[in-house]
Amino acid sequence: MEKSPMTDKFDITLNGIRLQCESGETILDVAKRDGTYIPTLCHDPRLDPAGACRSCLVEIDGQRRLQPACAFKVTPDLNIHSESARVRKHRKILMSLYMADHGAPLETEHNGDQLTRMARDCGPLLALNPVEAPRAARPAEDNPYFTFDPSLCILCARCTRYCDEVEAVNAITLSERGASTTIATAGQRTLMDTSCELCGGCVDTCPTGALMEKKPAKLNQVNPRKVRTTCNYCGVGCQMDLNVVDDKVIKVSSPEPGTTLNDGNLCVKGRFAYDFIHHQDRLTSPMIRGTDGQLHEATWAEAIETAARGLLDVKERHGADSLGFISSSRCTGEENYMMQKLARAAFGTNNCHQCAAT
Amino acid sequence: MLGAGAMTNSIPEIRDAEVLFVIGSNTTEAHPIIAMEMKRAVRNGAQLIVADPRAIWLSDIATIYMQLKPGTDVWLLNALAHVLINEGLTDNDFILNHTENFEAVVEAVRDYTPESAEEVTGVAADLIRKAARLYASRRKAGIYYTLGITEHTHGTDNVYGLANLVLMTGHLGLPSAGLNPLRGQNNVQGANDAGASPLYYPGYQRVEDEGVREKFEEAWGASLSPENGINLNVMMAEMAEGNLKGMYVMGEDIVLSEPNASKIERGLNQCEFLVVQDIFENETLRYADVILPAACFAEKDGVFTNSDRRVQRVRKAVDPPGQARADWEVLGDVARAAGYGMPHYTHPREIYAEMAALSPKFSGISHERIEAEGGLQWPCPDANHPGTQYLHQEGPLIGKAQFQAISYRPSAELPSDDYPLVLSTGRTLYHYNTATQTRCDAGPMAHQPECFVQVHKRDARKRDLRHGDLVVVVSRRGRVECRVHVTDKVRPGCVWMPFHFAESPTNKLTNDAGDSVTGTGEYKVCAVRLEKTDRTEETRSV
């Protein structure tokens, strides 16, 4: 929504520092802008604040209770403490409870999960008994891309809120009550049988590793090299990170929300349809059709020479405009430039058009 | 018409829109991430108008949904203009200050009453009135369209019709407004920008302009043809006629993706010499004399330009397989082997710099700047220019925008007794074009393993067809076997097929009659019939 021109500007104090802010902002917005870290778990900037996980609670002078920084709107002259003894104590107890529910030891990071890293920041946790939470999984999940392990889930609901608020297909939801509450589909059908479009946004936003991608698990994925690039499917131009291990793309991840035009989102093609890169049917050798009518492998030098010679022959016999050059909207800008320059400067014709002539 | 062939506005502005008019675009399937922005806008209170012959995901959440008959867009758009003019909903200051030729449109749409439109398009007259009023009621009202508008013999007229609505309401030069073609492929915009066009050098500079030609002759050290080239659709026709005798095809399976595939195959048989450069085996390779294996996007550097004119980097992450090489390297080698002194570029940034220096629209863009600042949107005329989020802020780029009076012409091929159904084609969420890439993947194949034809339940009942039956779709140009999907998403009398599947080559059916200006084929309307087949699953050939 457009900011009202009547927006009020005023100061607040965060950890003893005066900060300017605007009405309508949350404490978390102001802290982020200032570079002050406040831990969050159920927060995702693409979603409406839920204030549910309690990990962003801060102490505000004059307020009896701790307040969630993700949802609490600033007012003039608030005096806020995000690292007070009371806040730290709260955080340690909260993380101890979450880890007792999460169930996995602190040493195990599930895909570098946010929860475990946050828990480590709290120092030694309280020794609590594991939480008995009989959350149901979906039986025989047959989708090819992700798995759901309910024992790791702490019900922050980022996945279900993403599915509702961003992708807007409502394929998954919180169901059951109390300790049995779980992430479910309608009637616990498999995802393939729901309105799910396999965008993978739920997996991407999951902070616990309860939702995981299936494909990369096949490969050793310790510290993949991330290469930022532009998706090669439709014309939106989503930015994505190719995760590379041993010269292989093992996974595609989306950049942080708010940093690129796709706001951390990708679709099923962008996020998952990358197997073609290393597919066995890729063309790997130049080929020339021989006098026997068959295609034969050739060296690059031979193939280039034959290609140039063949086109020049046609030009000599029938003129430059008997040639046609079809360029590609799938290739880069530079390559399209090269193709039209080849047609125009090397062969003397303007018969050059890209494949998507629309 | 407005001075630039691109989205006037930007994708991130969509979430702040007050009215979205989506026509001829199944956005959730073809541009899912733009659709997410549209969903967010609707969540924030925006009103959505959808016009599409097929009920689509977005039509379910639309304030107004107009299910027009395929190919009747011009009548609908003229009727919307008719309502705007008759009800005084036009922005007369904008028309006076920034446009010319409005009177011609007033004259042209006089007889396109909503009632006459109801007869031709099948959309209720009152719905058309409501849509026009809603579109005019907010400033942040943007039009979004894609190939449902352009893939017609009257595609250019359709775009003119939309532009007329934008101009008469003054929904231009404002955030979240304008006229926004959503590009179907990653770099359609960039290929146009780079001059892969028979009429334009890089940066939309005309081939026919002598000054422009001299500039490029000097820069490239070659004498250049002053004649406009022929567009892709004409190339295919000339090849079938035996006049186009040598072809270099990079990164497209013309057999599977161009309309009237049988005619193209005849042409390829006659073609004397064919070079194909691609990453995968495809149907066109069967006709090639030379095959050059190329690197895919993950294996090379360069830029793609997206729908909102944003030039963004493509970065090499892995090596290409076997001996495959980047297209830009191969093209340089072929040029040199043909005797032209193409420079020995060592990196695409040098190629981009050469192009930018010759193209005022993006002179200010370079790989170095994109590295430092992220994507840059043209126009970006100099190195200090921040790029342009939305166009026409100071009035139309070309000074005064010209209204274009248009009149309805029926599609080139209409239903008849022998071919009683109208076929439209398109793309689905799970596959991409000829699916050489997406068919490598489990998810798309689990959801959509094979070709299908959507048939309205009434038409299915009439022909005794059930969901899942095999059927042969027949047009004047070819026959294609696929599976029946019975649905109420299409209009009675209309059927719809995707074009992703090599064993069911939908483009054997489609009509290659082209738009008179762009040459774009009429993929969205041709006449077909359905024939039952006796063949069962076991005997079906693949």
Question: Residue A218's pLDDT is what?
Answer: 52
Which CATH number characterizes residue B216's domain?
Answer: 3.40.50.740
pLDDT of A167 strictly over 50 = yes
Q: Are A269 and B338 in contact (CB under 8 A)?
A: no
A283: nearest CB among B280, B297, B301: B280
What 3-state DSSP class applies to B31? coil
pLDDT of B433 strictly over 80 = no
A237: nearest CB among B310, B318, B333: B310
Is B342 in Cβ contact with A313 (below 8 Å)?
no
Is residue B335 packed enough to be buried (19+ CB in 10 Å), middle (13-18) or exposed (0-12)? buried
Q: How many CB atoms lie within 10 A of CB B125?
A: 17
pLDDT of A247 strictly over 70 = yes
Which CATH number characterizes residue B484's domain?
Answer: 2.40.40.20
Question: Residue B397's pLDDT is what?
Answer: 78
Q: Are B348 and B355 in contact (CB under 8 A)?
A: no
Q: Are A297 and A285 in contact (CB under 8 A)?
A: yes
> Which residue is closest to A323 within chain B, CA to CA?
B246
Is B292 in Cβ contact with A286 (below 8 Å)?
yes
Q: Provide the domain count of chain A.
A: 4
Is A333 in Cβ contact with B193 (below 8 Å)?
yes
- Same domain? For B213 and B249 the reply is no
B352 touches chain A (CB under 8 A): yes
pLDDT of B365 strictly over 90 = yes
Q: Tell me whether residue B539 is in a domain.
A: no
Reported as a single tens digit per residue, the pLDDT across B205-247 is 999 999 999 999 999 999 999 999 999 989 999 999 999 999 9
Q: Tell me whether residue B393 is in a domain.
A: no
Give the closest-approach CA distance of B438 to chain A in angstroms. Answer: 6
Give the closest-approach CA distance of A81 to chain B in angstroms. Answer: 33
> Which residue is closest to B187 within chain A, CA to CA?
A329
Q: Are B64 and B130 in contact (CB under 8 A)?
A: yes
pLDDT of B537 strictly over 70 = no
Among candidate residues B79, B48, B54, the one with its CA nearest the CA of residue B68: B54
More confident residue, B496 or B430: B496
Question: Residue B447's pLDDT is what?
Answer: 74
Is B306 in Cβ contact with A236 (below 8 Å)?
yes
Global pTM value: 0.91
- Same domain? For B372 and B511 the reply is no
Is B40 in Cβ contact with A143 (below 8 Å)?
no
> Which residue is closest to B216 within chain A, CA to CA?
A345
Name every chain B residue with its beta carbon within 8 A of the beta carbon of A350: 198-199, 207, 225, 227-229
- Same domain? For B496 and B376 the reply is no
Residue given tokens 């297209």 in the structure block: B327
Question: Residue B539's pLDDT is what?
Answer: 43
Is B447 in Cβ contact with A192 (below 8 Å)?
yes
Q: Are B233 and B257 in contact (CB under 8 A)?
A: no
> Which residue is closest to A284 within chain B, CA to CA?
B322
- Same domain? For A267 and A189 the reply is yes
Reported as a single tens digit per residue, the pLDDT across B274-293 is 999 999 988 899 999 999 99
Q: Tell me whether residue B319 is in a domain.
A: no
Name every chain A residue with its beta carbon within 8 A of the beta carbon of B437: 273, 276
B196 touches chain A (CB under 8 A): yes
Q: Tell me whether residue A292 is in a domain.
A: no
Is B315 in Cβ contact with A227 (below 8 Å)?
yes
Rounded average pLDDT over A62-86: 95
Pairing of strands B246-250, A323-327: parallel
Distance between CA atoms of residues A240 and A233, nearest Å = 12
- Same domain? For A254 and A164 the reply is yes
Reported as a single tens digit per residue, the pLDDT across B75-123 is 999 999 999 999 999 999 999 999 999 999 999 999 999 999 999 999 9
What 3-state DSSP class applies to B188? helix
Name every chain A residue with its beta carbon within 8 A of the beta carbon of B251: 327-331, 355
Name every chain B residue with its beta carbon within 8 A of the beta carbon of A331: 187, 191, 250-251, 302, 327
Among candidate residues B17, B112, B132, B13, the one with its CA nearest the CA of residue B72: B112
Is A2 in Cβ contact with B229 (below 8 Å)?
no
Name every chain A residue with its beta carbon within 8 A of the beta carbon of B147: 358
Tokens of B246: 């040598």
Distance between CA atoms of residues B504 and B69, nearest Å = 25
Instruction: Find all residues with CB under 8 Å of A319, minimum gap 6, and list them.
Output: none
B317: nearest CB among A2, A227, A282: A227
Q: Tell me whether residue A168 is in a domain.
A: yes
Q: Cα angle vertex B29, ends A263, B197, to 5°?
A: 90
Tokens of A71: 């949802």
Q: Provide the domain count of chain B.
A: 4
Question: Residue B48's pLDDT is what?
Answer: 97
Q: Tell me whether residue A244 is in a domain.
A: yes
- Same domain? For B26 and B163 the reply is yes
- Same domain? For B362 and B485 the reply is no
B294 touches chain A (CB under 8 A): yes
- Same domain? For B464 and B344 the reply is no
Find the domain containing A348 and state its range.
Answer: 319-358
Among candidate residues A358, A127, A305, A207, the one with its CA nearest the CA of residue B523: A358
Find the domain containing B280 and state its range.
Answer: 230-293
